[in-house]
Amino acid sequence: MKLSTALLTLIPTSAAAWTSVSPLAAKAHRFHAAAALFSVATEVEGEVATESFRLKFKGEDAVLSPWHDIPYKAETEGLYNMVVEIPKYSKAKMEVATKEEFNPIAQDIKKGKLRDYHGPIFWNYGCIPQTWEDPNVEHPELKVNGDDDPIDVVEIGGSALAMGTIAEVKVLGVLAMIDDGELDWKVVAISKDDPLAETLNDIDDVPEAVLSGIREWFRWYKTPDDKPLNGFGFDEKYLDAEEAKKIIDETNEAWQKLRSGDSDAGKLWTGK
């Protein structure tokens, strides 16, 4: 299948398209991210590309957790909210810090070093809030446990979305990645504001070149660090939108148990 030119996106022409945080930003710099239900402001603390960097979220009157305080379902019926952690074409491995108070976005650290991908990621990457892949529960068919994180989203639209953006997305399908013996679902979605959103409704609508690109990127991305290839369940096939939504709902149910104290939180910050 010939890849649609709308999916062959161009490199952003300005730093703002990569991230809302300029390397010269002051500590108190503020900007607004699109939100489905309410206005969300983000505030930078520390310096970009250092261990001190944090992108914090605030509502009108209080600090917010992008994991716990933003609804997983969007205001638009049938859509979900995505917290953008890593803008497309960037390399810094940014993530919602699940063990820190109010869960700001920070750069991941491995073995005392800031973590970067060895090449750019070609899609916007983030998570769906109010979800949790429970490490205490084994998947009945795949026989692996959850990875202890919110469920991940790969947004395949044509625009780079700024870090901290709360984007309403249409879920198209999901891939069951198995990373170091843990289940790490990858939801494939498209922003409702993308021109292709009206024509993409299920996983079969997505060009095979895009689906293969996502699978192979996640299969190989850890190998430069001498890590093994990642594997995939269900014969490496994507599950469709209906199944993806069921899985998202299951991870929301797991999150509810986490927040209520019915599941062991370990070192996670749940605001309780």
Q: How far is CA 204 from each of CA 172, 208, 241, rounded to the nearest angstrom?
A: 8, 8, 9
Which two three-digit tokens encode residue 220? Answer: 């190989």
Q: How far is CA 245 from each of CA 47, 91, 240, rounded to the nearest angstrom?
A: 37, 29, 9
Q: Per residue in 79-106, is it b (16+ CB within 10 Å) or e — as a string? A: bbbbbbbbbbbbebbbbbbbeeebbbbb
- Give pLDDT tens digits along the chain (272 positions): 333 333 333 222 222 322 333 332 333 333 333 344 457 999 999 999 999 999 999 998 899 999 999 999 999 999 999 999 999 999 999 999 999 999 999 999 999 999 999 999 999 999 999 999 999 999 999 999 999 999 999 999 999 999 999 999 999 999 999 999 999 999 999 999 999 999 999 999 999 999 999 999 999 999 999 999 999 999 999 999 999 999 999 999 999 999 999 999 999 999 98
* Cβ atoms of residues 190 and 169 within 8 Å: yes
Q: Is-catalytic flag, 117?
A: yes
Q: What share of the chain is helix, strand, coil (3-state, %, to 5)?
A: 20, 30, 55
Q: Given the DSSP bridges, would you call strands 63-64 and 113-114 parallel, antiparallel or unpaired?
A: unpaired
Indicate which residue of 80, 89, 117, 221 is catalytic: 117
pTM: 0.87
pLDDT at res. 38: 55
* Cβ atoms of residues 129 and 70 within 8 Å: yes
Extended strands (E) in 80-139:
80-86, 94-96, 105-107, 109-110, 113-114, 124-127
Q: Given the DSSP bridges, would you call strands 80-86 and 94-96 parallel, antiparallel or unpaired?
A: unpaired
Only one residue has tokens 């996640």, namely 218
